[in-house]
Amino acid sequence: MSTSRTAYRTCPLCEATCGLELTIEGDQVTAMRGDDDDVFSHGFICPKATGVRSLHEDPDRVRRPLLRTPGGFEEVSWDDAFAEIDRRLTPILAEHGRDAVGSYLGNPNAHNMDAIIYGRVLMKALGSKNVFSAATADQMPKHVSAGLMFGTLISIPVPDVDRTGYFLVLGANPLASNGSLLTAPDMRGRLRGIQDRGGRVVVVDPRRSRTAEVADEHVFIRPGMDALFLFSLVHTLFDEGLAAPGPLAEMTAGLDQVERLAADFAPEAVADACGIDAETTRRIARELAAADSAAVYGRIGTCTQEFGTLASWLVDVLNVVTGNLDRPGGAMFTRPAAGTSNTRGTPGQGKGVKLGRWQTRVRGVDEVFGELPCACLAEEMDTPGDSQIRALLTFAGNPVLSTPNAGRLRDALESLEFMVSVDIYVNETTRHADVILPAPSALYRSHYDLALYNLAARNVANYSPAVFDLPADALGEWEVLLRLTGIASGQGYDADIEAIDDFVVSALIQREVQDPASPLTGRSPDELLKALEPRRGPERILDWMLRSGPYGDQFGGDADRLTLEKLEAAPHGIDLGPLEPRLPEVLRTPSGKIELAPERITTDVERLRAAASRRQNGGMVLIGRRQLRSNNSWMHNVPQLVKGKERCTAHIHPDDAERFGLIDGEQTQVTSRAGSIVVPVEVTDAVMPGVISIPHGWGHDDPEARLTVAAEHAGANSNLLADEELIDPLSGNAVLNGIPVELSPVRSEQAAAVA
């Protein structure tokens, strides 16, 4: 008879990092609830959390390496799988060069310590310029604006939601998404807190989202026009003498230039393009200026659009011009316990960021932070020439459902010479792979949110050990990545991964002791390495990061300071307090100032100026919408999350429905330059006229995928419509909101005939 035990585990499914309490009997999870004692989430969880358990148990989850054969996928041993990869990948590298092997890294990597640490090691060993990730279908514009303004890609100000008096939200729906670039569990409770304190929440969105519904005010905006609107707020602040950067002025370069640039963007001049009347804009500007504290925050809707970087930049311009950057209740910088690029090196000054160091081969689009835009991935595979991608590795990614022009991408994957996927499913993307290497379920691995604690609304640290020991025939994801590193670095399929791991940690230590700005400068690397004994793998590196980080013991034996051991003794996490002002120490720009008007950004203002004269012309544009019981493309195989009425539907305003002859419950064909899909219509005034909203991540109708439950709720892939030619030029980010489309009715009898 087995006895039951309790395990605590941070939920890895989204950015909120909620604490879970699991009841375990033998090798089964028998119950799961929110951890009331979690220092950050205090018991909050969302409906999606159930997925942690279901994914673990899902019979469709891949558990053994799979090799594609003429008769379909066959299970093989790990050694055979790695030998096959070595046999086929190594000649491609030798004959066609490093760039012939491309990589695509998907979103779950950001929630996975193994992947964050060892993915980087593998990418370095591969040495290919053809690195792509979901970041260029997501937040890349924010990395670019933050990098240019504050000096590192991760220096993204986080709204201090727990203290702010005025929260201006653009293109984010935290009530469905649970927050993004804003790690703060229970956003509903935190928004209520703002209102209970007498504060105000204002949401700017082309849809009346769940967040807009609970806000004090919702303002419709035409998709893609946020930069115009934000500029007109900046304009109003200067125009009406309300600009008040206060002590920030001295730390800021380019304030005058921003004022000059804003001159052209009076609220009256952009009202038609934005669909927001000038009086509303002026009033919001005055409210922002009058609030004791205010935070402006933009997310997916402001990033994945044609002016993504300009809008992301202007969000923080507003935070500076109103004096709210870096002050309690404003937009602040987290100080993450595991350290990051803005806690290392010389405080207050650094190298800044360099973008566009190389370009994509086919379209000549700039590199950003070492990667290339995912909107360019298909053409790099299907266009012949030197450095054409001939082999692709995917890691926790489903670009066939997540990136633009999915149809072209799918064909391009089929044309590859070789493809490897590290994933948990045979899905729309991985089914094209020659070898699938299974990642274990999250409950088999330990967790520390290396990425998201960089962007948290409080400083917190929480470590969870693996809930279950790995089965004997499984490999940890970090071991998989190290074995691929062995292959990529020419050490063969059975390279000594312990030696590679030792090398990785030694390199980290070397770098630190040689940095004159580090508290560890001049210390003996051997002594530090020894202090990490007997840990190995991700735990050793995490312990290193924590101990050398801003709260770390610096290997000095101070029991009050942070170590992994201390976190192990604190299963509900350690609260390191509310966000604290970090200027000017946080800056890593060469000037040591906030760069309010970086040249790369200001040169793009011309393009925006041209958009100010746009008028509604009767055409329709497509936007997305996230759903509470969904997680991008990959949680539709969890029965509890897909039950109920069909969710992959098109939201259309009643006026448009009438114009196009569309009927609620019937279907519409939606066509763009890139492709065409058929989806059911829901007529609702929750979207503004001229806008159609379809969620992404659906379209599970590929017969080669092995997603039994998802196939019964297939829906349509909205990224067949997204146009890979539309990108934000400064970041290369895909435009996934504001795509021109045409609509036509599909009557049920026709639908039946087509099917």
Of positions 7, 24, 32, 49, contacts ligand SF4 by CB under 6 A: 49
Contact region for Mo ion (CB under 5 A) — 130-138, 208-216, 577-585, 658-666?
A: 130-138
Sign of CA pseudo-dihedral 170, 174, 179, 180: negative
Nearer to ligand MGD, 367 or 477 (CB): 477
Other beta carbons less than 10 A from residue 152's beta carbon: 24
The DSSP code for 687 is B
When the beta carbons of 27 and 213 are compared against ligand MGD, the nearer one is 213
Under the criterion CB under 6 A, does residue 737 sit at the interface with ligand MGD? yes
> Which parts of 307-366 interact with ligand MGD (CB under 6 A)?
none
DSSP strand pairing (650-652 vs 676-683): parallel
Nearer to ligand SF4, 42 or 197 (CB): 42
Find the part of the chain contacting ligand MGD (CB under 6 A) among 36-44, 131-139, 509-517, 653-661. 131-139
Asked whether position 689 contacts ligand MGD by CB under 6 A, the answer is no
Out of 7, 11, 156, 576, name the contact with ligand SF4 by CB under 6 A.
Answer: 11
- C-alpha span between 62 and 242 (Å, rounded): 58
The pair of three-digit structure tokens given for residue 378, joined into one six-digit string: 């298909």
Residue 626 binds which of ligand SF4, Mo ion, ligand MGD, none (CB < 5-8 A, kind-dependent) = ligand MGD
Under the binding rule (CB under 6 A), the answer on residue 48 touching ligand MGD is yes
**Is residue 13 involved in binding ligand SF4 (CB under 6 A)?**
yes
Q: Which two tokens stand for residue 211?
A: 């967040």
End-to-end alpha carbon distance in the chain: 53
In whole angstroms, how close is the CB of 395 to Mo ion at the nearest point? 15
Q: Which residues contact 467 (CB under 8 A, 6 or more apart)?
A: 7, 9, 22, 24, 29, 443, 444
- Sign for the pseudo-dihedral over CA of 263, 268, 274, 277: positive
Task: Please say whether the beta carbons of 84 and 67 come within 8 A.
Answer: yes
Q: Which residues of 20-44 are buried (b: 16+ CB within 10 A; e: fewer)?
A: bbbebeeeebeebebbeebbbbbeb
Verify binding: residue 138, Mo ion, rule CB under 5 A.
Answer: yes
Out of ligand MGD, Mo ion, ligand SF4, none, what residue 350 binds, judged by CB under 5 to 8 A for its kind, is: none
- Closest CB to ligand SF4 among 454 and 548? 454
Rounded Cα distance, 472 and 597, in Å: 56
Closest to 698 measured CA to CA, from 374, 402, 375: 402
Q: Which residue has the tokens 């051991």?
A: 565
The CA distances from residue 744 to 49, 663, 694, in Å, are: 38, 11, 15
**Partner whose footprint covers residue 49, from ligand SF4, ligand MGD, Mo ion, none (CB < 5 to 8 Å by kind):** ligand SF4
Position 634 contacts ligand MGD (CB under 6 A)? yes
Q: Is the dihedral of CA 552, 555, 558, 564 positive or negative?
A: positive
Question: Within positions 418 to 437, which residues make up the interface with ligand MGD, using CB under 6 A?
Answer: 422-425, 427
- Angle formed at CA 110 by CA 215 and CA 422, multiple of 5 degrees: 135
Rounded to whole angstroms, what are the CA distances from 386 to 94, 96, 123, 389?
Answer: 14, 8, 20, 9
**Binding track over 173-212 against ligand SF4, x by CB under 6 A:** -----x------x---------------------------
Identify the three-state secondary structure at position 421. Answer: strand
- Closer to ligand MGD by Cβ: residue 208 or 335: 208
Cβ closest to ligand MGD, residue 261 vs residue 475: 475
Binding segment for ligand MGD among 492-500, 507-515, 660-668, 717-725 (CB under 6 A)? 717-725
| Whole-number Cα distances in Å, 533 to 170, 509, 526, 543 | 47, 14, 11, 10
CB nearer to ligand MGD: pick between 84 and 138: 138
Other Cβ atoms within 10 Å of 745 Cβ, number: 15
CA distance 672 to 742: 6
Closest to Mo ion by CB, 7 or 735: 735
The stretch among 135-143, 159-167, 301-309, 589-597 that binds Mo ion (CB under 5 A) is: 135-143
How many residues in the shown chain lie near ligand SF4 by CB under 6 A? 12
Name which of residues 474 to 533 contact ligand MGD (CB under 6 A). 477
Rounded distance between C-alpha atoms, residue 139 and residue 552, angstroms = 29
- Output the smallest distance, CB 222 to ligand SF4, in A: 30
Distance CA(553)–CA(545), nearest Å, equals 11
Which stretch in 89-97, 512-520, 575-583, 730-738 sits in contact with ligand MGD by CB under 6 A? 730-738
Greatest Cα pair distance, the chain, in angstroms, is: 77
Select the residue interacting with ligand MGD from 275, 399, 549, 675 (CB under 6 A).
399
Omega within 30 of 0 (cis) for the link into 108: no
> Binding partner of residue 625 among ligand MGD, ligand SF4, Mo ion, none, CB under 5 to 8 Å per kind?
ligand MGD
Task: State the Cα–Cα distance between residues 508 and 542, nearest whole angstrom.
Answer: 11
The site string for ligand SF4 over 131-170 (x = CB under 6 A, - otherwise) reads: ----------------------------------------
Nearest approach, Cβ of residue 613 and ligand MGD (Å) = 18
Asked if 697 interacts with ligand MGD (CB under 6 A), we say: yes
Q: Tell me which of ligand SF4, ligand MGD, Mo ion, none is bound by residue 281, counting a contact when its beta carbon lies within the kind-specific cut-off of 5 to 8 angstroms.
A: none
- Give the residue, chosen from 41, 183, 398, 454, that forms a contact with ligand MGD under the rule CB under 6 A: 398
For residue 135, give every residue at least 6 positions away whose Cβ sits within 8 Å of its Cβ, in sequence order, or none: 143, 371
Region of 67-75, 297-305, 408-416, 639-647 interacting with ligand MGD (CB under 6 A)? 297-305
DSSP state of 325: B
For 575-592, give the DSSP string.
EEEE----TTTT---TTS
Give the range of 12-20, 415-423, 507-515, 579-587 binding ligand SF4 by CB under 6 A: 12-20
Compute the distance between CA of residue 389 and CA of residue 412 in angstroms, rounded to an integer: 10
Amino acid (one-letter) located at 641 = L
* Stretch binding ligand SF4 (CB under 6 A), from 7-15, 76-84, 162-170, 520-528: 7-15
Q: How far is the CB of 52 from ligand SF4 (least distance, A)?
A: 7
Residues in the chain: 755
Amino acid at 514: Q
Residues of this chain that bind ligand MGD (CB under 6 A): 14, 48, 106-108, 112, 134, 137-138, 170-174, 176-178, 180, 204-207, 209, 221, 223-224, 226, 299-302, 304-305, 395-399, 402, 422-425, 427, 439, 442, 477, 623-628, 630-634, 696-697, 718-719, 722, 736-738
Residues of this chain that bind ligand SF4 (CB under 6 A): 11, 13-14, 16-18, 45-46, 48-49, 178, 185
Residues of this chain that bind Mo ion (CB under 5 A): 138
